[in-house]
Structure 1
């Protein structure tokens, strides 16, 4: 009787450790410290874009609940004169990174006076593109795997010629990034389509920086593009069928979790339990799991 009671207590503890609040948690795939954000006030002024992007990553199970990116952007920073590049260089002094998310070039457009037409040899454009070329080369040498370069929406108004300068810089910078010979895998993302028709709603009265709505829309568009290009390597995650607690093995703990899952009155489709790959999780999958643990079924999924 005592042995039976002890076994019941142990089993209860095991099952409690897989309560629905934990066993249904998404798997963390990256560390926040592996991601560095650099740039200017478009990221730095309110910080809402980065926070919203982190939330997208958390909701997708890519970032841990309390984890954060290394967030280094500074208002007023330029690409030229070692502005934004210094954010990266100072940041990696505390540890290298795999992923860099950046913007840059807006403040370069405001440096000095250049008469139109603007070309690749116009000083503010050449200085900015040279800085990006050198920065990407350094990142490649440092082992950075991927870079996501966000380029600005249109300003809400001409703002003393800023729009014309951004319009000139944008395609030249995109070409610079595409043609750089030494770089990590780099994505240039033009955010203008997301902002089209929403400039008044998405832009602060200064005509440049994003409102909360603009920040959230920007982050969602960035995340959608990151998924499309598999930026964090998560668009097609590998499923190890049956390994519900993601500890690398399929065992009695996963079996207990499966039983709790089926007993729950409210549940959503969970692919890791779809052991016959019929887009339904039911008693048949549970029976397959039992046969796998008994050695009758040799491989999962089984169909």
Structure 2
């Protein structure tokens, strides 16, 4: 049994099985840990995200996106950070906490199979999409430089949405582009949680420090997942940048427009991919490493008390 506990994933599963179902208080730790780690990652990587967003909207090179931001001035550099800061903090809370709760419902005593991890990740992504799509919608409007004069603040965007009526607030306002968001988040969460532990376990067997397998696993998973789903990311950014009753194309029309404006070339769809790799590596690497570190600390303290 000692040999089985060398890897983080197997160690956690062993500890999960030995605890009674009524004492699963470590669920709350997953929620708190996800919130803290995502808050830190979002603040550190926001400049990278904003450059990527400009590339997705305008299909320009990195240098041109940076030049645009520089020309607008430092007062606008962190424009739009509050919605992603709040949404990513909530995202971390929901992603890790909901996944952990759903996984326990599917497999109360473990071990957790690939199917269990995939299903829990998929469902947590659905919850995340429903809860956080409005934040992303406001964020994308704020970060579009073409709309700075018309919508100088978050309040001005919310005022516009509330002028539509109930159904309009949802379909044209807060949940514009919801279906690609739902597909992106559910598949992304399923992929991340399905392969995070196997990669981490494999690296842990090499005798590396505990934080290294978690950091590398998170980075690799975040990068691969983001690159696989990158066309959906571009589609969401373009759909959610539209605002108003007029010129609101359908999902298919939006996808066709993105494809046409990128010259019907895949490599233009993936423009900005290098920065996506960097951002995803940093964000998911740090998030996974912090989550693993704090989870170990909590487990150690609980074992000492017991």
Q: What TM-score do you get using the length of structure 2 for normalisation?
A: 0.27
Bigger-Rg structure (1/2): 1
Q: Which has the higher helix share?
A: 2
TM-score (structure 1 length as normaliser): 0.27
